[in-house]
Structure 1
Amino acid sequence: MSANDFSLQSLIRPEAAEPAFVFDGTLVSRVEFLARVEQTAAWLAAQGIGKGDVVAVWLVNRVEWIALLFAAARLGAIVAAVNTRYRSAEVAHLLKVSGAKLMVVEAAFRSIDFAAILADIAKDDVPALQQLAVVGADRIPAQWPCVRFDAFDAVHPPAPLAQGDVDRPVLLYTTSGTTKGPKLVAHSQRTLASHAVSIANALQLDPQRHSLLAMLPFCGTFGMTSLLGFIAAGATIHVLDAFEAAPALKILSEHRITHSFGSDEMFRRILALTDAPRPFPHLEICGFAAFQPGWRELAAEAEARGMSLFGLYGSSEVQALFSIARGGDTFANRIEGGGWPMSPDAKVRVRDTESGELAAHGVSGEIEISAPSRFLGYFNNPEATGDAITADGFFRTGDIGRLRGDGAFVYETRAGDAMRLGGFLVAPGEIEDELKSCPGVADAQVVAVDLKGQARCVAFVIAAAEPPQQEALTARLRERLAGYKVPARIYLVDAFPVTDSANGVKIQRARLRAMAMDRIATE
């Protein structure tokens, strides 16, 4: 196979279904899309963008986003994906680390004031940034030169094409935010395109029969990977510019959508808008990531209403939809995170976090992955890359899970969230589910703390209408759980600290741990 067989351009299949995309009712054929890629490549070249240059893309889901990625690939340039939830400090960090020369930005979207966010960024903090290109307006108030993104309606000389660059960086994702700022995860055309083909093959996608509702943001691996997988399959893709439950429900109901991917909260909101007993008869697979408490109950409700949820696993480093459950799994196994890798060439192993040895089937430890979808490394950060990759090329995921023994694996929790209590690794969800089954408990989160030299867990509980008695909760847990799993403290709170990410709202367990230690200290 030639290098061009692994280019993003190779994903566009001439025999595919039409249209390729539907944006808010506007149809875009594959011929039209390819023309827009050519126009965008010429426009980027006219702005001085060439091989190795970085273009930051700060857009909602629109055809310009995809055209910019494919056009950058043709030029040998790199796209840095900017989360539309980001604000000034996060945007400045990404621009500085990536060294972006050009940023393509929305003029406005809903309540987001892009110009105000940019106004809070000191020009000296992002010295590489030379120009802004605005979609939807001639310019916005900013301290950088502005041009209108007019690639689709202006004529520029054809761009020179970069050849044989499928193994160079083409797309930079941000990892989940950290206190020091996110790292940039670099992927090549080969890693993106080969994984997209693996998804299309593993899901046995038929361009004439299958279609996707794309409701996740393209700036994250979850949204981009599912998009590229269905482009590779040649299937029609209905795109939401940003998730809202009502338009998602309308598209699912009216367009015979067969596949969609999202968070548990997204599917919960969609189901809440309809009282039809089985509202989506054409849906085959809803792949979901569980971010919120109560996801098992959601999966059971969805199953009863004909919406089959499939557990997934992925990360920016190995891409989303790295693996998925199978239809033949029992319901309990199907909704668990993990499943079977999409690529037949992917390898998953589990390493005992204490002994450092590879763990046997059924034994929890850190998940390590080798796969064609693995990232190139952290952009401009060789030290972090070296720390994340084993000597034999496996990515250390930082996630805890176990091998099932049938070729599948189970994701249990983040390594930072997993608790070693009484000599055993314990997933917080096990204790949280027990707490949520108690009268008076609306929601619960559990974290581990060091209490007088011992690892113990502490629970935070949001009360229902009738607040629970803490003594009663402890007594019930003692009846149902091993002693080392019973929380040393149970605190009532009004809400959990949360943070926004590209794929949804996540609970800040680090903040909960700090809250627990503060409360214990005052005692």
Structure 2
Amino acid sequence: MRDRVTPVDMSANEFSLQSLIATETAADPAFVFDGAPVSRAEFSTKVEQTAAWLAGQGVGRGDVVAVWLVNRVEWIALLFAAARLGAVIAAVNTRYRSAEVAHLLKVSGARLMVVEAAFRSIDFAAILADIARDEVPALQGLAVVGADAIPGQWPCVRFDAFETYPPAPLAQNDVDLPVLLYTTSGTTKGPKLVAHSQRTLAMHAASVAKALKLDPQRHSLLAMLPFCGTFGMTSLLGFIAAGATVHVLDAFEAAPALQILSKHRITHSFGSDEMFRRVLALTDAPRPFPHLEICGYAAFQPGWRELAAEAEARGMPLYGLYGSSEVQALFSIARPGDAFADRIEGGGWPMSSDAKVRVRDMETGELAAHGVSGEIEISAPSRFLGYFNNPEATRDAITADGFFRTGDIGRLRGDGAFVYETRAGDAMRLGGFLVAPGEIEDELKSCSGVADAQVVAVDLKGQARCVAFVIAHQGLLEREALTARLRERLAGYKVPARIYVVDAFPITDSANGVKIQRARLRAMAMDRIAAE
């Protein structure tokens, strides 16, 4: 079965979000939410209804609507509808608590927030109750999905766009206005808001579909990442652009992910290493996913190389990739022809043929040669418009010739691909050399008795030295023996000045998965050294 949707005038509307769904031949259905199919024609109708509903709430050009929802069809319809009206969607992470929600609402100036009535253990009403109205003066009210209202201080309406509103008239659909705001890690003042236009989103989605050679009749996506982050949204838009079916999890859980992968012949999925690890752990089948072609993954946890090897042996091919809110996720990905060791590394080949990647030596300020580590800089059609209402931060992030300073450390491979190594804040300058923590962590994990390891740099008697935290397999670890082995394997400046055994690493939840809190580890290291 195929949907036939009236094609748009591509010469005038080539880079709109609407252009992504205006495909003559596409898989049927476009989406499957909790087993319920939604065709492209049905989705187009929902977008028109939602645009009319937003207009009925007084939302128009330049107005910001915060969306605090799990993955559901309303989320996507709101984005596409806002694009129709020239409005802006501010994506709110469902893991956020009151201070984070208040910061986003204040910086974005959102006048309306679309929010879940309830979802599992998340108490949206209680979180909102901790936000004073004078903290977010622009917010006029809430639109509630799944109920008429939620308790609290803000006026509420029910989000009933799909039930009562007729299609909206066509709007100007300006493709270069801001349409979507992501949060990104920022200063101590709180996250910055990364602004993207329809042009940046739609062009990159088309690049993803083309680079992955997606066939709408053969390929399908399991969308298990949250739409509020660029990783989840970019993979979603890429498969919409391809016309392929997208099976959606409202929020990640390993058991339903396993069921969809097994039952629906899914060919592609994207997620964190921890997501794929948890799915694999639920099945004893030697090769449980015979239809999987690409699982793009971000390595947030120790042991990702071991996971990749196990997954490969069991028919779950993991592909390293790279992205950020500023240049969008799936900016690059490994290729099937890459050697396994290269394929599982972060980085890869840019999706867009127009993208440019260079590396700048952080010591000299000059561009680095192939194989030399430095800060990754990117110029690409997927690059953001800027930080919303923050021109100073935008100026600091963009070079004079238009490259985004990523704040990530990596190196060029010399064949058109690049390798992501670590965040600049995590990279260590030891003995006058730039060192990625992973190099030392891998050596530690190769030592007998070490289950996991994390390495951070601290100032020790005026010199930058590294400190290791390790989790033991069983029993006690001989730290002297570990140090002796490392001295045999590594340059002296890379050998940890201290090795501390811990039961677990401090972690934090993000939109895309659980991450190690390296700043907390640095603080722990300094406290322990001071106590000596």
- TM-score between the two structures when normalised by the length of structure 2: 0.96
Aligned with 1:177: secondary structure? strand
CA shift, 1:287, in A, is 0.3
Aligned with 1:182: secondary structure? strand
Post-superposition Cα deviations, 1:290-339, rounded to whole Å, max 9, x if no partner, equal 00000000000000111110000000000000000000000000000011
CA shift, 1:13, in A, is 3.7
Equivalent pair of 2:178/2:198 in contact (CA under 8 Å): yes
Equivalent pair of 1:100/1:128 in contact (CA under 8 Å): yes
Q: Distance in 2 between matches of 1:281 and 1:23?
A: 23
Post-superposition Cα deviations, 1:150-192, rounded to whole Å, max 9, x if no partner, equal 0010x34654543151001000000036532110000000000
CA shift, 1:441, in A, is 1.7
Equivalent pair of 1:435/1:473 in contact (CA under 8 Å): yes
CA shift, 1:440, in A, is 2.2
Post-superposition Cα deviations, 1:368-413, rounded to whole Å, max 9, x if no partner, equal 0000000000000000000000000000000000001100000011
Aligned residue pairs total: 517
Equivalent pair of 1:3/1:166 in contact (CA under 8 Å): no
Equivalent pair of 2:193/2:387 in contact (CA under 8 Å): yes
CA shift, 1:3, in A, is 4.5
Structure 2 partner of 1:333 = 342
Alignment of 1:109-148 (within 5 A): 109-148=119-158
Post-superposition Cα deviations, 1:103-155, rounded to whole Å, max 9, x if no partner, equal 000010010000000000001000000010000111100211001100010x3
Q: Distance in 2 between matches of 1:331 and 1:354?
A: 32
Equivalent pair of 2:148/2:158 in contact (CA under 8 Å): yes
CA shift, 1:498, in A, is 1.4
Please give the root-mean-square deviation of Cα atoms over the aligned residues, in Å. 1.0
Q: Distance in 2 between matches of 1:443 and 1:454?
A: 26
CA shift, 1:514, in A, is 1.4
Q: Distance in 2 between matches of 1:470 and 1:331?
A: 33
CA shift, 1:433, in A, is 1.2
Equivalent pair of 1:75/1:159 in contact (CA under 8 Å): no
Post-superposition Cα deviations, 1:44-99, rounded to whole Å, max 9, x if no partner, equal 01111000000000000000000000000000000000000000000000000000
1:176 and 2:176 equivalent?
Answer: no
CA shift, 1:443, in A, is 1.4
CA shift, 1:493, in A, is 1.7
Post-superposition Cα deviations, 1:232-278, rounded to whole Å, max 9, x if no partner, equal 00000000000000000000001000000000000000000001011
- The change in CA–CA distance for 1:160 and 1:125 in structure 2 (over 3 A counts) is farther
Equivalent pair of 1:3/1:164 in contact (CA under 8 Å): no
Q: Distance in 2 between matches of 1:233 and 1:330?
A: 27
Q: Distance in 1 between matches of 2:46 and 2:242?
A: 20
Q: Distance in 1 between matches of 2:428 and 2:171?
A: 49
The runs of at least 4 consecutive aligned structure 1 residues that moved more than 6 Å come to: none
CA shift, 1:500, in A, is 1.1
Equivalent pair of 1:325/1:338 in contact (CA under 8 Å): yes
Percent of counterpart pairs with the same letter? 90
Aligned with 1:195: secondary structure? helix
Q: Distance in 2 between matches of 1:100 and 1:159?
A: 22
Aligned with 1:6: secondary structure? coil
Greater mean alpha carbon deviation, residues 440-449 or residues 73-82:
440-449
Q: Distance in 1 between matches of 2:186 and 2:173?
A: 33
Structure 2 partner of 1:238 = 247
Q: Distance in 1 between matches of 2:288 and 2:503?
A: 34
Aligned with 1:152: secondary structure? helix
Aligned with 2:371: secondary structure? coil
- The change in CA–CA distance for 1:375 and 1:108 in structure 2 (over 3 A counts) is same
Q: Distance in 1 between matches of 2:187 and 2:518?
A: 12
Structure 2 partner of 1:425 = 434
From 258, 278, 299, the equivalent of 1:269 is: 278
Gap runs ≥5 in structure 1: 464-468
Equivalent pair of 2:85/2:173 in contact (CA under 8 Å): no
Equivalent pair of 1:448/1:457 in contact (CA under 8 Å): yes
CA shift, 1:14, in A, is 3.2
Equivalent pair of 2:505/2:516 in contact (CA under 8 Å): yes
Alignment of 1:435-450 (within 5 A): 435-450=444-459
Equivalent pair of 1:216/1:243 in contact (CA under 8 Å): yes
1:477 and 2:486 equivalent?
Answer: yes
- TM-score between the two structures when normalised by the length of structure 1: 0.97
From 93, 101, 116, the equivalent of 1:91 is: 101
Equivalent pair of 1:346/1:370 in contact (CA under 8 Å): yes
Post-superposition Cα deviations, 1:484-513, rounded to whole Å, max 9, x if no partner, equal 110001112222121111001111111111
- The change in CA–CA distance for 1:156 and 1:250 in structure 2 (over 3 A counts) is closer
Aligned with 1:22: secondary structure? strand
Equivalent pair of 1:286/1:310 in contact (CA under 8 Å): yes
Aligned with 2:14: secondary structure? helix
Q: Distance in 1 between matches of 2:427 and 2:36?
A: 46
